[in-house]
Amino acid sequence: MILRIGTRGSRLALAQAHAIAGALHDVGADVEVVPMRTEGDRRLDARLADVGGKGLFVREIEEALLAGRVDVAVHSLKDLPAEVPDGLDLAAFPEREDPRDVLVTAAGGGLEDLRAGAVIGTSSLRRRALVLASRPDLVVEPLRGNVDTRLAKLAAGECDAVLLAAAGLRRLGISPAHCRALSVETFVPAVGQGILGVQIRRDDAGARRLVARLDHSDTRACALAERGYLRRLGASCNTPIAAHATLDRAGDRPRLRMTAVVASEDGRRVLRADAAGMPADAERVGRGLAELLLERGAETVTALAPSRWWP
């Protein structure tokens, strides 16, 4: 039996899918990568927030998985809505890649070095909000397309800087000349940034047995905490929120530590909070952090639809 892996057809998505295919091959699976074109790929001229958010990049792949046209789906976890369709499971979270955002500039330097009025390109409302919160004198313009396209637009002078995910650059083997990583403490990453989610049909015991061997326990705890936060807030993947969890193993017992942000799109209002707990309670930690921010007025900062139900 060949395990068919569904993925978007972009260069980055294919690199991620082939990495998972290689890992599955190493544990004894015969694999085939099946590229798919999603609605999000077909509508690259539109602003994500206006056409349904990042869920547009996964819907068709999940439908193919449910229909049995593929057996495994590989997603960038930050693209996945909080609710997974009934009948599907996220069965593995391989070890996290660098979760940071990076600023790529034409001339070098960091965010603080950009001139007033400099144009930064990004399609992320989170990145827009965090940039404007620290540098309200900058101009943030929508910028879509794959990594190569965005870097080409920077080189062509269409903007002074672009914001990208470090994980994507690393997975593609791209090292721009003027690239500076941004601190996760101040420029908090998106939920799931740097993590791959490997999805299967819930009743596919064979795929589950193979895929489970790729799971990384520390990454799973962080993923569950961050997605618990996302789910409790009822935020979409393109809402200006952020959350980043890490495992601290310095003491006798590992501790899950998490920082989260809810912001207005213009960056004028930013709520931040931190929490900690045991890795076994990861989802509860994430949910509690969301509740803390809700108590502080998160629903007045940006559009949310908090979930009242929790298993």
Catalytic residue annotation? 79
- Contact 175/168 with Cβ under 8 angstroms? no
SS3 of 221-243: the string is HHHHHHHHHHHHHCCCCCCCEEE
For residue 213, give both structure tokens: 């061997």
- Contact 177/156 with Cβ under 8 angstroms? no
Strands 119-121 and 161-165: parallel
SS3 79: helix
SS3 55: helix
SS3 177: coil
* Cα 285 to Cα 283: distance, rounded to the nearest angstrom: 5
* Cα 74 to Cα 18: distance, rounded to the nearest angstrom: 10
For residue 95, give both structure tokens: 């070890």
- Which residues, 6+ apart, have CB-to-CB distance to 205 below 8 Å? none
User: Which H or E run contains 61?
Assistant: helix 59-67
- Which residues, 6+ apart, have CB-to-CB distance to 28 below 8 Å? 210
Closest listed residue to residue 32, CA positions, set 65, 72, 2 = 2
* Cα 107 to Cα 228: distance, rounded to the nearest angstrom: 40
